[in-house]
Structure 1
Amino acid sequence: MNNAPIGVFDSGMGGLTVMAALAKKLPGEQFIYLGDTARLPYGTKSADTVRRYALQAAHALTERGVKMVVIACNTASVGLPYLKEALAPMPVLGVIEPGAEAALRMAPNGPVAVIATEGTVKGGAYVHAIHDRSSAPVVQKPCPLFVPLAEEGLTEGPIPEAVARRYLEPLLAQLPKPKVLVLGCTHYPVLKKVIAGVAGPDIALVDSAAITADAVAELLELRDLKASAKQGPHKFLVTDAPDRFARVGEIFFGEPIDPGAVEQVDLQ
């Protein structure tokens, strides 16, 4: 079982930033990534619908024999309690809890700012996770244009900078000024340079991809699930447009994705 792969899923390609961080942190592990590209984005859908989609994605991964499931999607993390119950005793980890804990390590008393999709902001997942641990004040801002900018590869230059200023300047002008900014969508790390430039050096950024990789590594050690030998190359599953996934996914994964390694599947 220890040499079984780790399953990772997202509504589309953004979760590849998490998988890239996982692969770097845990080079001896094999990963299976599932992108529900036929039904993205999750950020505009109801919580009930997102929970149903998350369960279907998780079951598709367990059918492939994974030993752990990572929800590499902030919006889909609304389904974390349901997946933990449905997949028990298999460990299931989302990106919200590690991100909240990292934000509070950087600024124990806040204020904490969160930028995310509309669904994540409306659901208040980060607010709940932070307030479960602290009374630190939290401010939020949906940044929907960051997703198409990331997928078009517009990660630097005047266009993403103008969008970042429009979103961030009013958020960061609030008093007391936020001390930490959580990148609450897995698309956002590829825009990190632009976001950091607008936020300025006094505000720490929480990259959910890197933080989640650290949390997965700790959980593998805790559960004694670390692989003794890598079982093969990483695999990619999508529900639509595998060629586009391989082409655009390189932006998020940080290296080329072989189209032959991308398999189209149906989720039930």
Structure 2
Amino acid sequence: MTSSPAARPIGVFDSGIGGLSVLQALRHELPHEHFVYLADSGNAPYGDAKGDAFVQQRTLAIAGFLRQRHGIKALVVACNTATAAAVEQLRAAMPDLPVIGVEPALKPAAACSQTHHVGVLATRGTVSSARFARLRNDHSARTHFAVQACDGLARAIEQSTEEPLPATASTEKIRALCAQYTGALGSFGLKTGDIDTLVLGCTHYVFAKDLLRALVGPDVQLIDTGAAVARQTRRILTQAGTLAPEQAPDGQPAAPGPVQLYTTGQLVALQAAADRWLGLPAQCCAALPVA
């Protein structure tokens, strides 16, 4: 573990591989930082059936692991369900650790919607949380939110890297769920009463963006939180004085920071996801016990 605060890694975790979409945005915004990512795929998905107590226990255990093993200088909870269920407990338990959570982008969606009708796709754990209810209430003055719990969608995206299915069969399973849940929200478009903005309220859903785009049409805005979370992480590290330097001691641009990925699920699945979505080699990935 390095003693220099700026050189210490940023921890990132999710219930599975969905948080790789946030890691992708973080690496774009902060290319010189060292990242340690943990996919708790052995317990995924959090949002469909796991209760708050379980999610809180896993969140605290993972944060503890990343602090003790890797000396992280900040933690990005790249999971909407874990943020909703556990971020307040995590901040209370580790008040000296900067924690950045994610939540469905209702505020920016309300600000940019022209029809004032916004669709929200998220896990059942997220949409049933008190945190989500407060967020929705805060931004409902001028905007109608049509909210859909997408049981099974995060799991299907997770399984697309795990199962030895043909790619076409895996894609069709995800497409069918996307069609079911977007269809339940209502009509999409730019006419009065149409949904013109769709919030992707689970980090996994970013990896189904092309399928969702085909279903809702070219005029509908798709909003996720990756870039906003990355900018907030930069702000927090800047305030703390722990940003990794962008220049090497010789004045040359600093090299890209290293990335280490862990999973409590199938190692080959994480390796496939890391290669597909981040272009990272298999040796960046390692397996951990589920417990």
Whose radius of gyration is greater, 1 or 2?
A: 2
**RMSD between superposed Cα atoms in Å:** 2.7
Measure the CA separation in 2 of the matches of 1:83 and 1:159. Answer: 35
For the residue of structure 1 that corresponds to 2:82, the secondary structure is helix
Contact preservation (8 Å) 1:172, 1:199: no
1:262 and 2:285 correspond: yes
| Structure 1 match to 2:82 | 76
Measure the CA separation in 2 of the matches of 1:95 and 1:71. Answer: 7
Q: What amino acid is the match of 1:256? A: L
Ranges in structure 1 where 5+ consecutive residues have no aligned partner? none
Contact preservation (8 Å) 1:239, 1:266: yes
Paired residues for 1:233-244 under 5 Å: 233-244=258-269
Which moves more between the two structures, 121-130 or 208-217?
121-130
1:264 positional shift = 2.8
Paired residues for 1:87-98 under 5 Å: 87-96=94-103
Q: Which runs of 4+ in 1 moved over 6 A?
A: none
- After superposition, the C-alpha distances for 1:206-255 in whole angstroms (9 at most, x for unaligned) are 1222332222223222333211166952111222322332123433x331
Equivalences, count: 265
TM-score w.r.t. structure 1 length?
0.86
1:195 and 2:212 correspond: yes
Identity across the alignment (%): 30
Paired residues for 1:212-251 under 5 Å: 212-228=229-245, 232-251=257-276
**Aligned counterpart in structure 1 of residue 14 of structure 2, from 10, 24, 33:** 10
| Structure 2 match to 1:167 | 181
TM-score w.r.t. structure 2 length?
0.80
- After superposition, the C-alpha distances for 1:72-111 in whole angstroms (9 at most, x for unaligned) are 11111121111111121221011116x2333233239943
Contact preservation (8 Å) 1:104, 1:130: no
After superposition, the Cα gap between the structure-2 partners of 1:93 and 1:32, relative to the gap in structure 1 and judged at 3 Å, is same
Measure the CA separation in 1 of the matches of 2:133 and 2:10. Answer: 28
| Structure 1 match to 2:164 | none
Contact preservation (8 Å) 1:115, 1:181: yes
After superposition, the Cα gap between the structure-2 partners of 1:225 and 1:102, relative to the gap in structure 1 and judged at 3 Å, is farther
- After superposition, the C-alpha distances for 1:110-152 in whole angstroms (9 at most, x for unaligned) are 4332101221122254342242355333221122343344331
Which moves more between the two structures, 236-245 or 108-117?
108-117
Contact preservation (8 Å) 2:45, 2:155: no
Ranges in structure 2 where 5+ consecutive residues have no aligned partner? 162-166, 247-254
Contact preservation (8 Å) 2:265, 2:290: no
For the residue of structure 2 that corresponds to 1:38, the secondary structure is helix
